[in-house]
Structure formats: structure tokens, C-alpha cells
Copies of this chain bind each other. A is one copy, B any other.
């Protein structure tokens, strides 16, 4: 049994508070595994802690889009039956990862706003946008004359991957996208195969970084497939190099079916950590 979480990859050193929240997320998720819960449940619980904290670009802390609305993305996938669920641009809900899980439990896989809202109607609402958030959006808009610059910001998407006692893998991710981004823009997070992928036959992967570049590589699926022929760290580093070649930087957390794992990033920092039966570690930067 193992659980890995991350709180985004980027150029700024993660704060102590953010790292402590990752520890809390790890404990909460690993308790699920210890109690006989599934990898999918552990991934969901760990991500909910990060969405709740308001410290990451996900859930409560999700960035506002250009028009001042908070539209959130999330995805989950489990590796036994390859079931997956995702929501794109979900408004007014605090836990998009729970909405993604609800979608997974329908015959569908992906929903944009309308369908996502319907599926998520039972979930806890987001509080109103605060004055602080609106001032932050204005500051970002003023700072970046060119909208392109927005995409070079810190990526503080959150993600988790887990292996449970039954040998099943799962992956999940949740994000508020890019601060002040154009409404309707879709990054990698809610896209099965790009931001997340899980297959018991190979591994579980959750990615964060330049969403557009990750989409163009189908990064999570690529790493999963390469796990069949390459070692864990080689598979991760190989795809991160390919991503650099098309101009993208990212961080990835990967577990294979034996429970071995890799945390790798082409950004200076990636807040991340893991917990298994023996040990637990959380760091601002990880290369393993």
C-alpha cells in the first residue's frame, strides 16, 4: 500500500504551510488504505483535503478565470476496470474531485459545465468569491499585458496516486486552471490520458504543468505505456524530456503495480510526498 500526493510544480519554493497540508492529505488518504479502503477512495480523500485547504489552485483555492468566475476541473481513474470520471469547468462546488467520482459512477466519463453541474448538484457549494480573490485577479490582469505570460505562472494543481491492499491502482487530479485564463480553456487535468491515467497492467500517473503541452503528448497515458518497457524513473524522465522539446515543463507522480514509485519534475520545485507502511516523507522538491 502506498499513497503519493503533490501540490503543484513550479518555480517558486513551496511554503511550509503547503507542505504541512500535504502531510495531512497523506495521513487522511493512507488511513483509508489502512482501513481496507480502495486506492480510488484514498486518492479522493487526499485530494479533498487539498481542495479544502484553500492553499492550492484547486477547490476552495482555485483561481478565478478572466471573467471573475471560478470554474474548476478534476478527474479520477481506477486501474482495475479502467473506469474514469472527469468534470470540466464546474462552477460553484468546493470538491470537483468528488464530482469527477460521481461522473465515474454514471455510464459517462467526461462532462463540461452543464452536465457536470447536474451530476454535482448534491455536493457542498463553494463560498462566494472574496474581495481578496477579486483584487488578486485584477492585479494579475494588470501585471500581464500579454495574456500568454499567464501560462508561465506557478502550476499549483493538486494530484494523487495510490496502490491499495487489493493490488488496485488509482489516480486523480484537481485544479482551478491558470489564473485569469480565458473562459472555456481546457488544460490537461480533466483529460483522461493527459492529466491522469491508471491501469493495473502498467501503473498510475498524475501530472501537473503546462497543460497545453501535456495534452499534446497525452503525457499520463504515454508514461503508463512506457512503464511496460522502461524503468519507472526512465519512463518519467523520458516523457518529461519529450515535453521540454515541445516547450513544456511538468511534474509527475507515478506508481507501478509493484508499488514502486517515481516523483519527477522539470520545474525547479514540486511540493510532494509519499506514505507507505514503513515511512512518510514530504519535500519541496523530489527526484526519485
In the complex, which of the residues B89, B107, B187, B221 contacts A218, with contact meaning CB atoms closer than 8 Å?
Answer: B221
| Given A111-B185, A112-B88, A221-B193, CB of A81 within 8 Å of CB of B246 | yes
In the complex, which of the residues B183, B184, B193, B222 contacts A191, with contact meaning CB atoms closer than 8 Å?
Answer: B193
Residues of B within 8 A of A264 (CB): none
Q: Mark A196-214, 1 if CB is under 8 A from B, else 0.
A: 0100000000000001100
Minimum CB–CB distance for A142 against chain B, Å: 20
Residues of B within 8 A of A246 (CB): 81-82
The residue on B at minimum CB distance from A193 is B218
Residue A216 is within 8 A (CB to CB) of chain B in the complex? yes
- Say what secondary structure dominates the interface of chain A: mixed
Residues of B within 8 A of A110 (CB): 185-187, 191, 215
Residues of B within 8 A of A215 (CB): 84, 109-110, 192-193
* A229→B122 CA distance, assembly (Å): 47
The residue on B at minimum CB distance from A246 is B82
Q: Is the CB of B216 within 8 A of A184?
A: no
Supply 21 A–B pairs (Cβ within 8 Å), ascending by A. A77-B216, A82-B216, A84-B215, A84-B216, A88-B186, A108-B185, A109-B211, A110-B185, A110-B186, A110-B187, A111-B186, A112-B113, A113-B184, A114-B182, A115-B184, A117-B184, A191-B193, A192-B194, A192-B215, A192-B218, A218-B218
